[in-house]
Chains A and B, each alone.
Chain A
Amino acid sequence: MPADSHRVAHDWLDNDAGPVVRPYAMTQGRVAPEGGEFDLVAFVVAVAGGHPGDNASLQPEHHAIVAAAWEPISIVELAAGLDLSLGVIRVLLGDLRSAGLISLYEPPAASQPHDVDVLKAVVNGLRAL
Chain B
Amino acid sequence: MKKISILLLCGAFLLTGCSGHVTSVSDGDQELMTIGDTTITKNDEYELLKTYEGSDVMMSEVASIIYKNEIGTTKKIRKEAEQQYEEFASSSDDPEAELESKGYSSKEDYIENYLIPSIQSEKLVDKYFKDDKKTIKKKYKPSVAKILECDDKDTAEKALKELKDGKDTSEVFDEYQSDDANFSDEETLVSTQTSSVPTRLVNTLYKQKKAGVVDEVFSDSSDSDSSDSSDSSSTKYYVAILVNNDYDEIIDQVRESLSSDSDVTSACMEYYLKKYDFEVHDQEIFDYLKENNPEYLVQYPELKDSDDDSSN
Whether A associates with B in a native complex is no
Which A positions have Cβ atoms within 8 angstroms of B? none
Which B positions have Cβ atoms within 8 angstroms of A? none
